[in-house]
Amino acid sequence: MSIVVTGATGALGRLVIAALLERTSPDGIVALARDRGRAADLAARGVEVRTADYGRPDTLRGAFAAGDRVLFISGNEAGRRLPQHRAVVDAAREAGVALLAYTSVLGGPAATFAIAEEHVGTEQALLASGVPYCLLRNGWYHENYTGALATTLKAGAVLGSADGGRVASAARRDYAEAAAVVLTGGGPDPAGHTNAVYELSGDTAWTMAEYAAEVSRQTGREIPYRDLPAEQYVALMTGAGVPAAAAELVADADAGIARGELAATPGDLARLTGRPTTPLAAAVAEALKELPDSV
C-alpha cells in the first residue's frame, strides 16, 4: 500500500509531496507524472515515480494498486477533463484503492460558473463508482492573484469583473497540507476522511477592492481596482495574449464571485491543518519579494 499523488510535478502536486515527506517515509510515496524527467528531483528524494497521463487511459493501468490512498489532482485541460477524470476513476476502481481524494471546487454542485462543471461531473462519476472517496473542494488560491502581480503593477490597477464579490482564498500550500493530512490519516478525525466532503477555503473572504488596497499598502503605489464589464475584461485579456476560451472562463468565474459562490468560510481547511490559513497580506508580501526590482 502506498500514498499516490497524481499530477505530482504540478504546482500543487509538488507541495503535496513536500508536505507528505514531512509526515511519512519517502518509500511509501508514489508520484504520478506525464514526464518522468520532470520528477527526477522527487526520485532523488526516494519517492517512487510512475508515468501516467490522464489523456491516455492505457497508461493508468498499473498506476494504482489495491489499498493505495490516492490524491487525484484535477487535470488542467479545461473542456477535456471529464473523460480524462473518468478514466482515472475507472483505473482506481479496477485497482481497488482504499481512498481516492479528489481536488474539486468549493461548493461542488452549488457552484454555477463554467469551471465547476467538470468538477461536478467528476464528483458524480466518483460517487457512482463505489470507490471510497474524499472530496477536497478547494476554493481559489491566493496565487491566482499574486501570481499576476507583475502584470498588475505594470497596469497600475487590479482588473476584473467580480464587482463587490468576496473570495475566501488561501495559499496553495494550505490546500496541499490539508491533502497530506487526509492521505496520512491525520487531522481532528482521522477515521472520518473516508466518504467525507470538505469545503476548503481561507479563513477570511475579501473583495477585489480590498486586495487592491493591500497591494497599494505594501508597494506604496496607488493601485485601484477597476471593475469591468465581462466583455471588456475578456477583450483586455485576449489582447494581452490570453486564449479566448481561457479568458472567458476567467470572466465567468468572476461572475460567480460576484454571486458569492467563492466566499464561503466554513473553516474546514483550518481544522484539517490545525492552524489558521495563510493571510492574503502574507501572500502578497511573499509574491512581491520574488519580483525583480525593475517591476
User: 75 or 189: which carries more pLDDT confidence?
Assistant: 75
Q: Taking phi first (over 0 means left), then psi (-120 to 50 degrees means alpha), and beta for anything else, what does residue 187 get? A: left
* Mean confidence (pLDDT) of the chain: 95
Q: At what angle do helices 280-290 and 208-219 cross, to 10 degrees?
A: 50
Q: Which helix (H) or strand (E) holds 245?
A: helix 244-258
Range from 32-36, 183-187, 220-224 carrying the lowest mean pLDDT: 183-187
| pLDDT on residue 192 | 78
Pairing of strands 158-160, 225-227: parallel
C-beta separation of 216 from 154 below 8 A? no
| pLDDT on residue 293 | 75
Q: Taking phi first (over 0 means left), then psi (-120 to 50 degrees means alpha), and beta for anything else, what does residue 79 get? A: left
Residue pLDDT, tens place only, 161-181: 999 999 999 999 999 999 999
C-beta separation of 66 from 35 below 8 A? no
Indicate whether 34 pLDDT > 80. yes
CA 242 to chain centre: 20
Q: Rounded to 10 degrees, what is the CA torsion of 206, 241, 147, 11? A: 120
| Residue 71, beta-bridge partner list | 5, 101
C-beta separation of 254 from 160 below 8 A? yes
| Residue 273, beta-bridge partner list | none
C-beta separation of 156 from 223 below 8 A? yes
Q: CA-to-CA distance for 279 and 213, rounded, in angstroms?
A: 14
Query: 3-138 — its CATH code?
Result: 3.40.50.720
pTM, 2 dp: 0.96
DSSP label at 160? Answer: E
Place of cell 467580480: 162
Residues with Cβ within 8 Å of 203's Cβ and at least 6 positions away in sequence, in order, are: 168, 170, 265, 267, 269, 270, 276, 277
3-state secondary structure of 97: coil
Residue pLDDT, tens place only, 232-277: 999 999 999 999 999 999 999 999 999 999 999 999 999 999 999 9
| pLDDT on residue 125 | 97
